[in-house]
Amino acid sequence: MASATESALHGQVAIVTGSGGGIGAAIAGRLARMGALTFLCGRRRAPLEGTAEAILKSGGKAEVAECDVTDLSSVEALAALVERRSGRADILVNNAGVGSFAGPLHQMPLASWEQVMNTNLRGVFYCMRSFAPMMIRARAGHIVNISSLAGKNALPNGAAYAASKWGLNGLSYSVAEELRVHGIRVSVVCPGSVHTDLSPHEGKDSKKMLQPDDVAHVVAMLVTQQPQSFVSEVLLRPTQKP
Protein backbone atom coordinates (compact mmCIF):
# COMPACT_ATOMS: atom_id res chain seq x y z
CA MET A 1 0.00 0.00 0.00
CA ALA A 2 1.45 3.38 -0.98
CA SER A 3 2.19 5.81 1.81
CA ALA A 4 0.60 9.24 1.90
CA THR A 5 4.13 10.64 2.08
CA GLU A 6 5.55 8.55 -0.77
CA SER A 7 8.28 10.52 -2.62
CA ALA A 8 8.09 13.30 -0.01
CA LEU A 9 11.84 12.96 0.59
CA HIS A 10 12.92 12.57 -3.02
CA GLY A 11 16.44 13.95 -3.47
CA GLN A 12 17.16 14.04 0.25
CA VAL A 13 19.83 12.12 2.15
CA ALA A 14 19.17 10.37 5.45
CA ILE A 15 21.58 8.78 7.91
CA VAL A 16 20.19 6.21 10.37
CA THR A 17 22.42 4.76 13.07
CA GLY A 18 21.77 1.28 14.42
CA SER A 19 19.89 0.33 11.26
CA GLY A 20 20.87 -3.33 11.13
CA GLY A 21 17.58 -4.40 12.69
CA GLY A 22 14.66 -3.48 14.92
CA ILE A 23 13.64 0.17 15.13
CA GLY A 24 16.59 1.40 13.05
CA ALA A 25 15.83 -0.94 10.13
CA ALA A 26 12.17 0.09 10.20
CA ILE A 27 13.07 3.80 10.17
CA ALA A 28 15.61 3.36 7.38
CA GLY A 29 13.11 1.41 5.30
CA ARG A 30 10.41 4.03 5.77
CA LEU A 31 12.68 6.95 4.81
CA ALA A 32 13.96 5.06 1.76
CA ARG A 33 10.39 4.33 0.61
CA MET A 34 9.73 8.05 0.91
CA GLY A 35 12.51 8.69 -1.60
CA ALA A 36 15.57 9.43 0.52
CA LEU A 37 18.97 7.97 -0.19
CA THR A 38 19.51 6.28 3.16
CA PHE A 39 22.89 5.54 4.70
CA LEU A 40 22.63 2.48 6.92
CA CYS A 41 25.04 2.65 9.84
CA GLY A 42 26.08 0.09 12.42
CA ARG A 43 29.06 -1.81 13.79
CA ARG A 44 28.43 -5.04 11.87
CA ARG A 45 28.11 -5.16 8.11
CA ALA A 46 26.00 -8.32 7.72
CA PRO A 47 22.81 -6.99 9.39
CA LEU A 48 23.16 -3.71 7.48
CA GLU A 49 23.37 -5.66 4.23
CA GLY A 50 20.10 -7.37 5.15
CA THR A 51 18.39 -4.01 5.66
CA ALA A 52 19.85 -2.70 2.40
CA GLU A 53 18.62 -5.74 0.48
CA ALA A 54 15.06 -5.20 1.74
CA ILE A 55 15.21 -1.51 0.79
CA LEU A 56 16.53 -2.23 -2.69
CA LYS A 57 13.82 -4.85 -3.26
CA SER A 58 11.18 -2.25 -2.40
CA GLY A 59 12.65 0.17 -4.94
CA GLY A 60 14.50 2.39 -2.49
CA LYS A 61 18.11 3.55 -2.39
CA ALA A 62 20.50 2.67 0.42
CA GLU A 63 24.21 2.56 1.15
CA VAL A 64 25.87 0.50 3.85
CA ALA A 65 28.40 2.28 6.07
CA GLU A 66 30.01 0.49 8.99
CA CYS A 67 30.36 2.88 11.91
CA ASP A 68 30.90 2.64 15.66
CA VAL A 69 29.13 5.65 17.21
CA THR A 70 31.26 5.34 20.35
CA ASP A 71 34.39 6.16 18.31
CA LEU A 72 34.63 9.80 17.19
CA SER A 73 37.04 9.01 14.36
CA SER A 74 34.60 6.40 13.02
CA VAL A 75 31.73 8.90 13.10
CA GLU A 76 33.83 11.59 11.44
CA ALA A 77 34.76 9.11 8.72
CA LEU A 78 31.06 8.40 8.21
CA ALA A 79 30.29 12.12 7.85
CA ALA A 80 33.13 12.48 5.35
CA LEU A 81 31.78 9.53 3.37
CA VAL A 82 28.28 10.99 3.24
CA GLU A 83 29.60 14.37 2.13
CA ARG A 84 31.83 12.78 -0.50
CA ARG A 85 29.06 10.57 -1.91
CA SER A 86 26.13 12.97 -1.74
CA GLY A 87 27.28 16.44 -0.68
CA ARG A 88 24.44 16.81 1.80
CA ALA A 89 22.85 15.46 4.98
CA ASP A 90 19.16 16.30 5.31
CA ILE A 91 18.09 13.85 8.01
CA LEU A 92 20.07 12.33 10.88
CA VAL A 93 18.31 9.72 13.01
CA ASN A 94 20.29 8.83 16.11
CA ASN A 95 18.82 5.44 16.89
CA ALA A 96 21.80 3.29 17.94
CA GLY A 97 21.36 2.22 21.54
CA VAL A 98 22.05 -0.53 24.03
CA GLY A 99 20.36 -1.51 27.27
CA SER A 100 21.44 -3.01 30.56
CA PHE A 101 18.71 -4.38 32.80
CA ALA A 102 20.63 -6.95 34.83
CA GLY A 103 20.03 -5.61 38.32
CA PRO A 104 20.57 -2.69 40.72
CA LEU A 105 23.11 -0.01 39.92
CA HIS A 106 25.47 -0.87 42.78
CA GLN A 107 25.98 -4.32 41.28
CA MET A 108 26.44 -3.12 37.71
CA PRO A 109 29.85 -3.85 36.12
CA LEU A 110 31.70 -0.67 35.21
CA ALA A 111 32.11 -1.91 31.64
CA SER A 112 28.32 -2.12 31.26
CA TRP A 113 27.89 1.46 32.50
CA GLU A 114 30.50 2.68 30.02
CA GLN A 115 28.91 0.78 27.14
CA VAL A 116 25.45 2.22 27.83
CA MET A 117 26.62 5.81 28.27
CA ASN A 118 29.08 5.73 25.38
CA THR A 119 26.48 4.38 22.95
CA ASN A 120 23.26 6.06 24.06
CA LEU A 121 24.59 9.50 24.93
CA ARG A 122 28.18 10.07 23.82
CA GLY A 123 27.43 8.47 20.44
CA VAL A 124 24.60 10.94 19.78
CA PHE A 125 26.90 13.82 20.68
CA TYR A 126 29.51 12.54 18.24
CA CYS A 127 26.96 12.20 15.43
CA MET A 128 25.39 15.63 15.93
CA ARG A 129 28.85 17.19 16.22
CA SER A 130 29.92 15.58 12.94
CA PHE A 131 26.79 16.18 10.84
CA ALA A 132 25.55 19.56 12.10
CA PRO A 133 28.12 21.57 10.07
CA MET A 134 26.73 20.15 6.80
CA MET A 135 23.21 21.08 7.84
CA ILE A 136 24.27 24.54 8.99
CA ARG A 137 25.81 25.23 5.59
CA ALA A 138 22.53 24.21 3.94
CA ARG A 139 20.48 26.12 6.56
CA ALA A 140 18.16 23.12 6.78
CA GLY A 141 17.96 19.68 8.31
CA HIS A 142 16.23 17.32 10.69
CA ILE A 143 17.84 15.56 13.63
CA VAL A 144 15.69 12.94 15.33
CA ASN A 145 16.99 11.33 18.52
CA ILE A 146 15.36 8.07 19.57
CA SER A 147 15.05 8.15 23.34
CA SER A 148 12.63 6.25 25.60
CA LEU A 149 9.89 6.71 28.17
CA ALA A 150 12.63 5.50 30.51
CA GLY A 151 13.96 9.04 30.04
CA LYS A 152 10.78 10.32 31.70
CA ASN A 153 10.05 7.70 34.35
CA ALA A 154 11.95 5.78 37.03
CA LEU A 155 13.33 2.44 35.83
CA PRO A 156 14.58 0.25 38.70
CA ASN A 157 17.21 -2.29 37.61
CA GLY A 158 17.75 -0.17 34.51
CA ALA A 159 19.19 2.98 36.08
CA ALA A 160 22.08 3.37 33.64
CA TYR A 161 19.76 3.06 30.64
CA ALA A 162 17.34 5.55 32.21
CA ALA A 163 20.18 7.97 33.00
CA SER A 164 21.42 7.80 29.41
CA LYS A 165 17.95 8.59 28.10
CA TRP A 166 17.29 11.40 30.57
CA GLY A 167 20.62 12.83 29.43
CA LEU A 168 19.70 12.35 25.78
CA ASN A 169 16.46 14.27 26.30
CA GLY A 170 18.28 17.20 27.89
CA LEU A 171 20.90 17.13 25.15
CA SER A 172 18.19 17.18 22.49
CA TYR A 173 16.24 20.11 23.99
CA SER A 174 19.38 22.21 24.35
CA VAL A 175 20.80 21.48 20.88
CA ALA A 176 17.37 22.24 19.40
CA GLU A 177 17.71 25.78 20.73
CA GLU A 178 21.23 26.09 19.35
CA LEU A 179 20.37 24.86 15.85
CA ARG A 180 16.89 26.25 15.22
CA VAL A 181 18.47 29.60 14.25
CA HIS A 182 20.10 27.73 11.34
CA GLY A 183 16.82 26.25 10.12
CA ILE A 184 17.60 22.85 11.68
CA ARG A 185 14.94 21.04 13.68
CA VAL A 186 15.90 18.69 16.51
CA SER A 187 13.25 16.32 17.85
CA VAL A 188 13.28 13.55 20.43
CA VAL A 189 11.04 10.48 20.29
CA CYS A 190 10.33 8.63 23.54
CA PRO A 191 8.66 5.28 22.88
CA GLY A 192 7.49 2.87 25.53
CA SER A 193 8.51 -0.77 25.26
CA VAL A 194 8.95 -1.76 21.63
CA HIS A 195 8.85 -5.38 20.48
CA THR A 196 12.57 -5.80 19.70
CA ASP A 197 15.47 -7.74 21.20
CA LEU A 198 16.82 -4.71 23.11
CA SER A 199 15.02 -5.10 26.42
CA PRO A 200 13.23 -7.82 28.39
CA HIS A 201 9.49 -8.13 27.85
CA GLU A 202 8.56 -10.96 30.19
CA GLY A 203 4.85 -11.16 30.85
CA LYS A 204 3.92 -8.70 28.08
CA ASP A 205 1.67 -9.43 25.11
CA SER A 206 3.92 -8.73 22.12
CA LYS A 207 0.89 -8.11 19.89
CA LYS A 208 -0.15 -5.18 22.07
CA MET A 209 3.35 -3.73 22.35
CA LEU A 210 4.65 -0.95 20.15
CA GLN A 211 6.23 -2.25 16.95
CA PRO A 212 9.30 -0.84 15.15
CA ASP A 213 7.04 0.46 12.37
CA ASP A 214 5.15 2.58 14.92
CA VAL A 215 8.35 4.47 15.71
CA ALA A 216 9.21 4.72 12.01
CA HIS A 217 5.81 6.29 11.37
CA VAL A 218 6.53 9.01 13.95
CA VAL A 219 9.91 9.75 12.38
CA ALA A 220 8.24 10.04 8.96
CA MET A 221 5.82 12.59 10.38
CA LEU A 222 8.59 14.60 12.02
CA VAL A 223 10.69 14.93 8.86
CA THR A 224 7.71 16.04 6.76
CA GLN A 225 6.49 18.87 9.00
CA GLN A 226 5.62 22.24 7.57
CA PRO A 227 8.69 24.51 7.52
CA GLN A 228 7.40 27.14 9.95
CA SER A 229 7.14 24.81 12.94
CA PHE A 230 8.57 21.70 14.52
CA VAL A 231 7.56 19.09 17.09
CA SER A 232 10.25 19.00 19.74
CA GLU A 233 9.15 15.83 21.54
CA VAL A 234 6.90 12.82 20.99
CA LEU A 235 5.86 10.42 23.75
CA LEU A 236 4.72 7.18 22.14
CA ARG A 237 2.62 4.60 23.95
CA PRO A 238 0.67 1.53 22.80
CA THR A 239 -3.09 1.90 22.54
CA GLN A 240 -3.58 -1.01 24.95
CA LYS A 241 -1.30 -1.85 27.86
CA PRO A 242 0.56 -5.05 26.93
- CA torsion sign for 135, 3, 47, 236 is positive
Active site residue 161: yes
Measured CA angle at 187 (ends 45, 211), to 5 deg: 55
Catalytic residue among 126, 131, 161, 166: 161
Quick one: angle between helices 22-33 and 45-57, nearest 10? 30
DSSP letters of 135-161?
A: HHHHT-EEEEEE--GGGTS--TT-HHH
* Sequence-ordered list of residues with C-beta below 8 angstroms from that of 44, at least 6 positions apart, any chain: 20, 66
Active site members: 161
